[in-house]
């Protein structure tokens, strides 16, 4: 049994997340965590709301709430939506927690003691009309490298180049749109990343199993010259630049930059979990206290990769303490909406709350994971969504379970049939499924969710092909014992299929298991199809589940396209 620490990139606090955010980190992290648990591993799945920075202040102002109240409310909203989507976090914390204050300030102190922080007087953008300094991301303009016209002052979303606000062409305030901005001086702390280039390169070069997406972004940063980076901002909301209550002289009214404290919240959230449960966070994060045998996996979108391959490792390495650093990063591309970005203001795309108004979570989980943006960007369309639900879930998985359960109820008094032996057809099906189980297990171990979904669907198809060949409804007329053996085999397959589907559609998997195996069966990932095909006790009672997945019709799809936007809407 391994010990696996899994962290998902933190969803930002300023609003409900859209489906692209969900599939970009949180959902695949959950699917892998569920798989790892089913393999018998000890898993710690951590996430939290990312609550600091100007966007939180602006969102709170727009909502007419103090920023602290706004963040507390939105944390509960996001936590609730995660639970409704079946995200099985061991802890969903808050970057504004007292624990994150403590650990962020501790690491700041260690970096300072080790000579990795430098006070620098910077020239920053000040908006005259807004009456405030503008954080990097709240200055927008044209990227000098690729010409993207809405590049932010910290990073261009189009080419991913790291920027300084003064690099932008035609800069303006993202708050008010005002171009009446000027440069003023302000003192800040810079993390001396440039001193850590050799260590970072050696470390990244050692990660030969990382996705090309991740290593190419990380090496691009190093190859272009890794600059020292400011870790403080002129804001009121955030973690003060202090240690044990003592504010650093000259840094009154300043806080740590959100990109400094947000990754540290992975540790902070585990500390929150420990305080709430009596657990030991150190055995997950301190190599001198038990974390040496932990495998640490991070899930994130490609825009977060630089901060997790450079900034956060520099913080941990630079502390001089034995912190656990990431072993594997699952970086994902973006899921777009009809070729463009999801947009709250433009009312384009589906957000988590609206998705659950339309359909249960498992519909969305299946489609998103089966179309995860792994090798490149993917594209949500209502037509593809309809096809995936109808073809995969309703016609294949749902159809198999419901046909078998209904026939068992009608002809065998809703009990697992007794008598009869498995014959050549059952043995042939077991052999085919053994091969596919090995492939599915390999894809899940590799965190290849699209391939896993394809293999899982093929497993379901194999079950339906078996039913067609065995034809128990026809055989029953002449040989009820032989038909019963076929149904017993198929019921066992139904439980197997549910077990394999649990990382993708957990609520449905539980419904199937509860109907076909109410007395309980091994819930772990199967090592053998042959064993799984004999797990139900003859004579045990079953029930017929309600329709697992309702088909989506053209009228529904047309109305949703009209509501949420789409190619023809």
Which residue in 135, 136, 236, 122 sits closest to 187, CA to CA? Answer: 122
Gap between the Cα atoms of 271 and 258, Å rounded: 19
Q: In what order do the strands lie in the sheet with 294-301?
A: 91-94, 42-49, 3-8, 294-301, 328-332
* Cβ-based neighbours of 6, under 8 Å, separated by 6 or more: 29, 32, 33, 36, 43, 44, 45, 46, 296, 297, 298, 299
Dihedral (C-alpha) 118, 122, 126, 131: value to the nearest 10 degrees? 50
Binding-site sequence positions: 143, 146, 156, 159, 344
DSSP 447-458: T-HHHHHHHHHH
Gap between the Cα atoms of 108 and 117, Å rounded: 8
Q: Which residues pair with 343 in a beta bridge?
A: 348
* Cβ-based neighbours of 258, under 8 Å, separated by 6 or more: 50, 52, 53, 95, 233, 238
Q: Is the dihedral of CA 71, 77, 81, 82 positive or negative?
A: positive
- Angle at which helix 480-501 crosses helix 424-445, to 10 degrees, equals 0
Write out the two tokens for 471. 């034809």
Whether 460 contacts 400, CB under 8 Å:
yes
Whether 336 contacts 379, CB under 8 Å:
yes
Binding-site sequence positions for Zn(2+): 143, 146, 156, 159
Gap between the Cα atoms of 211 and 200, Å rounded: 17
Binding-site sequence positions for ATP: 344
Beta-strand runs (E) in 110-203: 117-127, 132-133, 139-142, 151-152, 169-173, 181-191
- DSSP one-letter code for 395: I
Angle at 408 between CA 407 and CA 410, to 5 degrees: 65
């Amino acid at each position: 049994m391994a010990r696996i620490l899994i962290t998902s990139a933190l969803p930002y606090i300023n609003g409900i997340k859209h489906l692209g955010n969900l599939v970009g980190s949180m959902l695949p992290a959950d699917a892998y965590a569920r798989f790892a648990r089913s393999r018998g591993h000890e898993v710690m799945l951590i996430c939290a709301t990312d609550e600091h920075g100007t966007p939180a202040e602006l969102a709170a102002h727009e909502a007419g709430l103090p920023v602290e109240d706004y963040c507390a409310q939105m944390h509960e909203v996001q936590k609730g939506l995660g639970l409704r989507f079946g995200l099985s976090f061991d802890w969903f914390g808050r970057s504004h927690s007292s624990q994150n204050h403590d650990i962020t300030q501790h690491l700041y102190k260690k970096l300072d003691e080790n000579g990795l922080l430098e006070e620098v007087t910077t020239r920053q953008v000040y908006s005259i009309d807004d009456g405030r300094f503008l954080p990097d991301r709240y200055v927008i303009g044209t990227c000098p490298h690729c010409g993207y016209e809405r590049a932010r002052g910290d990073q261009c979303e189009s080419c991913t180049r790291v920027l300084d606000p003064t690099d932008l062409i035609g800069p303006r305030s993202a708050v008010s749109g005002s171009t009446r901005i000027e440069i003023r001086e302000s003192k800040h702390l810079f993390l001396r990343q440039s001193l850590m280039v050799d260590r970072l390169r050696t470390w990244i070069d050692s990660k030969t199993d990382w996705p090309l997406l991740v290593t190419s972004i990380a090496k691009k940063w190093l190859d272009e010259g890794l600059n020292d980076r400011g870790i403080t901002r002129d804001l009121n909301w955030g973690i003060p630049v202090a240690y044990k209550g003592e504010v650093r002289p000259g840094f009154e009214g300043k806080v740590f930059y959100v990109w400094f404290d947000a990754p540290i919240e992975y540790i902070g959230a585990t500390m929150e979990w420990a305080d709430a449960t009596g657990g030991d966070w150190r055995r997950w994060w301190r190599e001198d206290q038990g974390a040496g045998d932990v495998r640490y996996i991070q899930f994130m979108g490609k825009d977060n990769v630089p901060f997790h391959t450079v900034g956060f490792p520099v913080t941990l390495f630079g502390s001089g303490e034995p912190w656990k650093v990431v072993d594997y990063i699952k970086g994902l591309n973006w899921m777009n909406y009809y070729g463009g970005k999801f947009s709250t203001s433009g009312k384009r795309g589906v957000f988590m709350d609206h998705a659950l108004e339309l359909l249960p979570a498992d519909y969305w989980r299946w489609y998103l994971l089966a179309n995860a943006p792994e090798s490149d960007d993917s594209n949500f369309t209502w037509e593809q969504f309809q096809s995936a639900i109808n073809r995969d879930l309703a016609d294949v998985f749902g159809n198999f379970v419901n046909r078998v359960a209904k026939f068992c109820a009608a002809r065998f008094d809703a009990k697992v049939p007794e008598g009869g032996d498995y014959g050549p057809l059952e043995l042939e099906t077991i052999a085919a499924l053994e091969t596919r189980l090995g492939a599915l297990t390999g894809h899940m171990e590799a965190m290849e969710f699209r391939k896993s979904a394809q293999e899982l669907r093929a497993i379901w198809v194999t079950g339906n092909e078996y039913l067609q060949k065995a034809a128990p409804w026809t055989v029953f007329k002449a040989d009820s014992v032989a038909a019963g053996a076929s149904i017993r085999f198929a019921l066992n397959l139904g439980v197997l299929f549910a077990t394999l589907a649990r990382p993708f559609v957990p609520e449905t998997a539980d419904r199937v298991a509860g109907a076909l195996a109410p007395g309980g069966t091994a819930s772990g990932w199967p090592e053998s199809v042959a064993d799984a095909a004999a797990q139900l006790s003859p004579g045990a009672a079953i029930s017929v589940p309600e329709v697992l997945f309702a088909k989506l019709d053209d009228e529904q799809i047309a109305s949703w396209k009209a509501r949420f936007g789409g190619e023809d809407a």
